[in-house]
Amino acid sequence: MKKIEAIIRPAKVGAVCEALDRLGHPGLMVTEVEGHGHQKGLEQQVRGKTYKVEYMTKACIRVIVHDADVDKTIEAICGAAVTGQVGDGKIFVYPVEDAVRIRTGERGAVAV
Ligand SMILES: Nc1ncnc2c1ncn2[C@@H]1O[C@H](COP(=O)(O)OP(=O)(O)OP(=O)(O)O)[C@@H](O)[C@H]1O
Ligand SMILES: [Mg+2]
Nearest ligand 1 atom to alpha carbon 88: 17
Contact 87, 56 (CB under 8 A): yes
Please work out whether the CB of residue 78 comes within 6 Å of at least one atom of ligand 1. no
Q: Which residues pair with 29 in a beta bridge?
A: 62
What is the rounded CA–CA span in Å between residue 66 and residue 83?
Answer: 28
Please work out whether the CB of residue 60 comes within 6 Å of at least one atom of ligand 1. no
At 63-111, the pLDDT tens digits run: 999 999 999 999 999 999 999 999 999 999 999 999 999 999 999 999 9
Please work out whether the CB of residue 12 comes within 6 Å of at least one atom of ligand 1. no
84: left (phi over 0), alpha (psi -120 to 50) or beta: left
Q: Which domain holds residue 76?
A: 2-111
68: domain CATH number is 3.30.70.120
**How many other C-beta atoms lie within 10 A of the C-beta of residue 99?**
15
As for how many domains the chain has, the answer is 1
**How many other C-beta atoms lie within 10 A of the C-beta of residue 72?**
12
At 49-72, the pLDDT tens digits run: 998 889 999 999 999 999 999 999
